[in-house]
Chains A and B, each alone.
Chain A
Amino acid sequence: MIELLEIFVFGTAMGGIFALLASGFSLIFGVSRILNFAHGVCFSISAYLVIYFIKEFSVDIFSASILGIFFAVLVGFFVYALTKYIRHNVVMVIIVTLAFALLVEQFLLLSFGNRGLTMPPFVEGIQVIYENLRIAKVRLLAIAIAIATLLALEFFISRTIIGKRINAVSQDIEAAKLLGINVEKVLIATFLISSALAGIAGILYAQIFNIYPAMILRVLIYAFAVVILGGLGSFRGSVVASFIIGYIFVATMKTLGAQWSEFVMLITIVAILAVRPTGLFGVKE
């Protein structure tokens, strides 16, 4: 019972982190049909920079986090600029974003080394919930931050003008243009928001696990599992799928060991594609 509760709490934390990561990936895909293989760069760069700022300039963790997210947004804008003129060419977009991701990975490898790095936590200590049920406070905080951010995003997309425009462009780009929506501006906004979300996800992830350069691509496995399960381009689908993937991830880790999680993700993806290729909430293209 205690085990199950632990898996539930830890899985919710991981699900929240995956949701922040994957919803950005899904938003960019929805608006522009770009498969952004550089999404993991925003994730990793913010975590690495936070660690770097704390170590080198002894900045406190909260200001460091804001700086880290700011740089993630800059990277997002850079990826937007890189793909601006080749957006219609699916092959080239994949190649450019993948090459950029590997370039940054090499850069991190050369400047920080191949070891895993840890980030000092926002809050120390363990919360005793009930006798034997003890949970690191960081994980509870990760859940709170992730859910608050997701709620804010939901509010942003469904209530604000920019959010409604993002929604309109991802539903039908031609119709959106006819209504006088500046698609380019919407796309920039989407890239910036998605990168910020990935940056937050990276920092929360680094609070729980070590972070190492290969994360840049490895983390995409989970993002892909989420978007395939939730349906490509569906925001709510991604959020629901994230929590399912989070529970699968933690359950795998606790029972088989962390090195099996990639295998289990692949099996999950293959199973979804075999049974229900459009995902839980996807629409037929």
Chain B
Amino acid sequence: MKAIIPLAFLLAILPMFVPSAYLYLIGLALLFAVLVASWDLMVGYTGQVNLGHTTFVGLGAYTAAILQLPARIGAAFDVHPIVAVILAGVLSAFFGLAIGLLTLRLKGYYFSLVTAILPLVFMQKVFVWRGVFGGEEGFSIPSEKILVATTLEKYYVAAIFAIISLGVIYAILRSKIGLRFKAVRDSEELAEALGIDTTKYKILAFVLSSFFAGVAGAIFVNYRMTVAPDLYDVPLMLLIILSAVIGGLGTLWGPFLMGIIVYLAKNWWLTAFRFGIVNEEIILYAILIAVAILMPRGVYNEVKEKLRRFAKS
């Protein structure tokens, strides 16, 4: 918890040193880091492999976009952007609850199988109702309907959201609820024997993680001023997985910081590697496969272990 305060301080003074074009990217990276941290809340702490996190990102994004621009569905009402963002999170959470109730009561692989196909199916709605959702191009939201207008303000919205989310997730994980999540992950039988309703806690973690994903998706829309199906897509999902795995599942800080690094790497540093049949995505996927095979416990954990051994000797 202590580390959040210096991080908040650093993010607050960052605009003094960084030009606004990079600030824009850093803000996006912070939003992405929240996605990674909230995915880690479900996967790293309860051990249930959720492959459909982007479903809730996209759901939140499109919900907020439609609420802020009701003309798309032919309705005329005015929703304040903040209300739209929160409603987007609530809808994502409800949807998570429905999926969780259906799949998390079953033991085994059903949860992963169902969540894996959710983003593919939900992306399809964009193409079925092209008039409303705008097809593969998506649609943009005029600046007067947006939460905040300037890059600096957007950056601060993203930074505040990231700090609050990190703090809330951290507080949840430190509480008794967080201990029960870990008990479910480490030994489901033992947790059940101790009287923990494992299904209830799995669903709770899933709903919480979907809520953060939905809000983050809605803020993404307000940040980029457009909504497009890439927020649903599997490459974003794999980028989340990649960051969390390299950062170390179940460490919260690892995935959060690695989320920032991976996002900046993909959209900034690695874009130079585009030649022939190689692009930055191929490089990232190759890195992911290598890390998963060589360091299955995550870079964070393996490096910590190495350092500890080094300190002992």
Q: Which residues of A contact B (CB under 8 A)?
A: 29, 35, 37, 82, 85-86, 89-92, 94-96, 98-100, 102-103, 106-107, 110-111, 217-218, 220-221, 224, 227-228, 232, 259-260, 262-263, 265-266, 269-270, 273-274, 277, 285
Contact = CB atoms under 8 A, between A and B. Distances in A.
A86 B46 CA distance: 20
Nearest to A285: B108
B127 A86 contact: no
A99 B49 contact: no
Contacts of B116: 37, 220, 224
Contacts, number: 116
B289 interface: yes
Contacts of B117: 220-221, 224, 262, 265-266, 269
A271 to B, nearest CB: 10
B267 interface: no
B107 interface: yes
Interface string B226-249: 000000001100100110010001
Interface residues of B, number: 42
Given A102-B235, A232-B108, A221 B102 contact: no
A62 to B, nearest CB: 29
Q: Which of the listed residues A103, A260, A274 has the most CB atoms from chain B within 10 Å of its own CB?
A: A103
Q: Which of the listed residues A94, A106, A217 has the most CB atoms from chain B within 10 Å of its own CB?
A: A106
Given A92-B292, A94-B112, A99-B289, A277 B238 contact: no
A102 B238 contact: yes
A269 B114 contact: yes
Interface of B: 43, 49, 51, 102-103, 106-110, 112-114, 116-118, 120-121, 124-125, 127-128, 234-235, 238, 241-242, 245, 249, 276-279, 281-282, 285-286, 288-289, 292-293, 296
A259 B128 contact: yes
Contact of A263 (B103, B113, B121, B286): B121
A97 to B, nearest CB: 9
B282 A103 contact: yes
Given A91-B49, A106-B281, A259-B127, A285 B245 contact: no
Contact of B282 (A106, A224, A232, A260): A106
A197 to B, nearest CB: 20
Is the contact region of chain A dominated by helix, strand, or loop, or is it mixed? helix
A92 B296 contact: yes
Given A86-B293, A91-B43, A285-B107, A103 B286 contact: yes
Contacts of B282: 103, 106-107, 110
Contacts of A274: 102
A91 B285 contact: no
B143 to A, nearest CB: 31
Contacts of B108: 232, 285
Contacts of A265: 117, 121
A99 B114 contact: no
A16 to B, nearest CB: 22
A92 B47 CA distance: 12
Contact of B112 (A35, A89, A102): A35
Contacts of A96: 288-289, 292-293
Contacts of B106: 273, 277
Contact of A273 (B114, B279, B286): B114
A188 to B, nearest CB: 18
A58 to B, nearest CB: 23
B106 to A, nearest CB: 5
A56 to B, nearest CB: 16
Contacts of A228: 110, 113
A110 B283 CA distance: 14
Given A86-B296, A99-B289, A110-B279, A262 B112 contact: no
Contact of A99 (B113, B124, B125, B292): B292
A227 B118 CA distance: 16
A273 B289 contact: no
A106 B286 CA distance: 12
Given A91-B49, A95-B288, A285-B107, A102 B121 contact: no
B292 A266 contact: no
A95 B292 contact: yes
Contacts of A260: 128
A85 B106 CA distance: 28
Contacts of A86: 292-293, 296
Contact of A218 (B114, B120, B235): B120
B284 to A, nearest CB: 9
Contacts of B110: 228, 273, 277
Nearest to B106: A277
A90 B50 CA distance: 12
Contact of B249 (A91, A106, A232): A91
Contacts of B241: 95, 98-99
Contacts of A285: 107-108
B36 to A, nearest CB: 14
A221 B114 contact: no
Contacts of A35: 109, 112-113
